[in-house]
Chain A
């Protein structure tokens, strides 16, 4: 991995993040659309609450990936959060996603003390699934037609990690 820093996301990162979200090879996997604007990302970053987290990987001054953790707002699910990780197309496969995910898990385990982390991933995104498996996530359900890709419905997996079982 080229010299990369992981740090909390800032509003100034919005343009880089929006550009990554629209990229071929990223967009299809994260349910983004080609019309997304920088202001959409700014709005998302501004909407994060005190128990949510967003980190970016930064290389040579530009964001190359992002990881977010959204704390559950459901009344009986305060012990849960959902997470998502994305990496720009040209930086995939070199450890950026792994570094982002580890930072997020560290935060979830040590600071937020969350019991259950969950995520949704397209069922054919094997690189992402393997990264999540390596970090203690397992598949709980195949969600049929829960996503859209290239004009068709696609399946996704619900994956989860229970902190105690992951040795956290």
Chain B
């Protein structure tokens, strides 16, 4: 397995992962719709950092993707938001963990980001455990944060990790 920055050619496989029914249900709640990967990749700026984790031996396959977005507001360039998506068949095998670790090293050592935040649905216990293991704390619960396919609302944990 290896982690590398995203390339335009990754758009199709990323969209395919995002289109999977189980992913759409369990995906970390997104400000980003990874099914529109081509648009996201084309729109990346110096404030955006996007990685893929892929297999190194054939068949080459993208297993997971991560996007770390530094806040646009000029006051808040020390704040970033992270989103991770792991393909269904690769879940529970540490690929999300590997990507998150890379992103946090980038945030700490290169970007000097004070605060990294994330939002997850309260039923996503795997993600909660992953984020907590990297020092994220639950700052609160946002009621009716996102809607599910059946039209019901779901709450979200607001998570963050600060350097100081």
Same complex origin of A and B: yes
Q: Give the interface of A toward B (CB within 8 A).
A: 31, 33, 73-80, 115-116, 118, 139-148, 153, 158, 160, 162
Q: Which of A74, A75, A139, A148 interacts with B75 by CB under 8 Å?
A: A148
Stretch at the interface among B8-16, B40-48, B88-96, B143-151: B143-151
A153 lies within 8 A of B145 (CB): no
Residues from chain A with Cβ under 8 Å of B55 in the complex: none
Q: How far is the CA of A3 from the CA of B141 in the complex (A)?
A: 40
A143 lies within 8 A of B30 (CB): no
Q: Which of A75, A118, A141 interacts with B33 by CB under 8 Å?
A: A75
Q: How far is the CA of A39 from the CA of B29 in the complex (A)?
A: 34
A77-B146, A78-B147 as given contacts; A153 in contact with B140, CB under 8 Å: no
Closest A residue by C-beta to B161: A144
Question: How many residue-residue contacts, CB under 8 A, span A and B?
Answer: 85
A140 lies within 8 A of B140 (CB): yes
Closest A residue by C-beta to B114: A145
Q: List 9 A-B contacts (CB under 8 A).
A: A74-B30, A76-B147, A77-B145, A78-B147, A79-B144, A79-B147, A141-B141, A144-B162, A158-B142
Q: How far is the CA of A116 from the CA of B33 in the complex (A)?
A: 20
A76 lies within 8 A of B29 (CB): yes
B78 lies within 8 A of A148 (CB): yes
Residues from chain B with Cβ under 8 Å of A73 in the complex: 31
Q: How far is the CA of A145 from the CA of B142 in the complex (A)?
A: 18
- For the side of the interface on B, what is the size category? 20 to 34
Residues from chain A with Cβ under 8 Å of B75 in the complex: 31, 33, 147-148
The yes or no answer to B125 lying at the interface (CB within 8 A) is no
Q: Closest Cβ of chain B: how far from A55's Cβ, in Å?
A: 22
Residues from chain A with Cβ under 8 Å of B114 in the complex: 145, 153
Q: Which of B29, B73, B115 interacts with A74 by CB under 8 Å?
A: B29
Q: Closest Cβ of chain B: how far from A47's Cβ, in Å?
A: 12
Residues from chain A with Cβ under 8 Å of B76 in the complex: 31, 146-148
Residues from chain A with Cβ under 8 Å of B78 in the complex: 148, 153
Residues from chain A with Cβ under 8 Å of B147 in the complex: 76-79
Closest B residue by C-beta to A144: B162
Q: How far is the CA of A75 from the CA of B29 in the complex (A)?
A: 9
Q: Which of B29, B32, B143 interacts with A162 by CB under 8 Å?
A: B143
Q: Which of A74, A79, A140, A145 interacts with B162 by CB under 8 Å?
A: A145
B153 lies within 8 A of A143 (CB): no
The yes or no answer to B160 lying at the interface (CB within 8 A) is yes
A160 lies within 8 A of B73 (CB): no
B74 lies within 8 A of A33 (CB): yes
Residues from chain A with Cβ under 8 Å of B164 in the complex: 145, 153
The yes or no answer to B139 lying at the interface (CB within 8 A) is yes
A158 lies within 8 A of B143 (CB): no
Q: How far is the CA of A157 from the CA of B75 in the complex (A)?
A: 17
Q: Which of A31, A77, A158 interacts with B73 by CB under 8 Å?
A: A31
Q: How far is the CA of A33 from the CA of B141 in the complex (A)?
A: 30
Q: B77-94 toward A: CB 8 Å interface, digit per residue (1/0)?
A: 011000000000000000
